[in-house]
Amino acid sequence: MTELLRLDSVACIRSDRLLFENLSLVLNRGDALWLRGPNGAGKSSLIRLVAGLLRPAAGTVERRERIALIDEASALDTELPLRRALDFWARVDTVDGHTVDRAMDEMALAPLAEVPVSMLSTGQRKRAAMVRVIASGAPIWLLDEPANGMDDAAQARLVAAIAKHRSNGGAVLLASHFALGIPDLAELDMGALA
Amino acid sequence: MTALIALFWRDLRRAWGSGALWLPVLFFLLVATAFPFAVGPDAPLLRRAGGGMVWVAALLAALLPIDRLVRPDKDAGVLDQLAVRGFADEVIAAVKIGAHAIGFGLPLMIALFPAAALLAQDASRVELLATGIAIAIPALASLAVLSASMTANHKGGSAIGGLLVLPLAVPMLIFGAGMLDPSGRGAIKLLAATSLLLTMVGPFAAGAALRGLRE
Q: Does position A190 have pLDDT exceeding 90, yes or no?
A: no
> What does the pLDDT average to over A169-185?
87
A50: closest CA among A30, A71, A36, A29?
A: A71
pLDDT value, residue B93:
96
Tens digit of each residue's pLDDT (9 = 90 or more) over A87-124? 999 999 999 989 999 999 999 999 999 999 999 999 99
**Gap between the Cα atoms of A117 and A76, Å rounded:** 7
B183-209 burial: b if 16+ Cβ within 10 Å, else e: ebeebbebbbebbeebbeebbebbbeb
pLDDT over 70 (residue B18): no
Predicted pLDDT at B41: 81
B160 and A CB contact within 8 Å: no
More confident of the two residues B204 and B41: B204
SS3 content of chain A, % helix, strand, coil (to 5): 35, 30, 35
Q: Classify the C-alpha dihedral B114-B116-B119-B122 as positive or negative.
A: negative
Mean of per-residue pLDDT scores for chain B: 89
Which runs of E-coded beta strand occur in chain B?
none
pLDDT over threshold 80, residue A172: yes
Question: Per-residue pLDDT tens for B42-61?
Answer: 888 888 888 889 999 998 88
Q: Which residue of B has its CA nearest to A66?
A: B85
**How long, in residues, is chain A?**
194
With an 8 Å Cβ cutoff, are B77 and A73 in contact? Answer: yes
Q: What is the largest CA-CA distance in chain A?
A: 47
Provide, as residue numbers in chain A, all residues whose Cβ is less than 8 Å from the Cβ of B214.
53-54
> What's at A123, amino acid-wise?
G
Half-sphere exposure of A55 (CA within 13 A, CB side): 6
In order of A45, A65, A136, the CA distances from A61 in angstroms are 13, 12, 22
* pLDDT over 90 (residue B211): yes
Q: Which pLDDT score, from 0 to 100, does residue A1 have?
A: 61
d(CA A128, CA B42): 61
Chain A residues within an 8 Å CB radius of B80: 51, 53, 69, 71, 73, 75
Best A74, A92, A173 member to test B by mutation, with max B CBs in 10 Å, is: A92
For residue B190, is pLDDT > 80? yes
Q: Look at residue A186 in the predicted model and tell me its pLDDT.
A: 87
Q: Which of B85, B91, B211 to mutate to test the interface with A (most CBs of A within 10 A)?
A: B85
pLDDT tens-place string over residues A123-143:
999 999 999 999 999 999 999
pLDDT for B90 equals: 96
Can you list the alpha helix ranges (DSSP code H) found in A52-141? 82-92, 97-106, 122-136
- Candidates A47, A77, A117: best to mutate against B (most CBs of B within 10 A) is A77
Please indicate whether, in this complex, the C-beta atoms of B80 and A76 are within 8 angstroms of each other. no
Q: What is the pLDDT of residue B16?
A: 84
Give me the pLDDT at residue A194, please. Answer: 58
Q: What angle do CA B145, B151, B152 make, to 5 degrees?
A: 85
Confirm if B188 and B132 have CB atoms less than 8 A apart: yes
Is A30 in contact with A81 (CB distance < 8 Å)? Answer: no
Q: What distance in Å separates the CA atoms of residue B57 and residue B69, rounded to the nearest whole number?
A: 19
d(CA B203, CA B199): 7
The model's pLDDT over B76-118, given as tens digits with 9 standing for 90+, comes to: 999 999 999 999 999 999 999 999 999 889 999 999 999 999 8
pLDDT per position as a tens digit, B115-138? 999 888 888 899 999 999 999 999
Question: pLDDT by residue (tens digit) across A8-23?
Answer: 999 998 888 888 888 8
Chain A residue closest in CA terms to B10: A88
Residues 62-101, chain A, touching B (beta carbon < 8 A) = 66-69, 71-79, 88-89, 91-94
| Residues B19-45, mean pLDDT to the nearest whole number | 85
For residue B201, pLDDT over 70 is answered with yes
- Strand partners of residue A97: none
H/E element, A59: strand A58-63
Cβ-contact A114, A62 below 8 angstroms:
no
Averaged pLDDT for residues B33-49: 88
Could you read off the pLDDT of B139-153 as tens digits, one per residue? 999 999 999 999 888
Confidence of residue B163 (pLDDT cuts 50, 70, 90): confident
CB atoms within 10 A of CB A71: 22
Residues belonging to chain B: 215
Secondary element (H or E) of residue A142? strand A140-144
Residue of A nearest to B87 (CA): A92
Chain B residues with CB-CB distance to A52 below 8 A: 83-84
Q: What is the 3-state secondary structure (H, E, C) of A37-50?
A: CCCCCCHHHHHHHH
Q: CA B60, B136, B183 angle in degrees (round to 5)?
A: 105
pLDDT at B167 over 80: yes
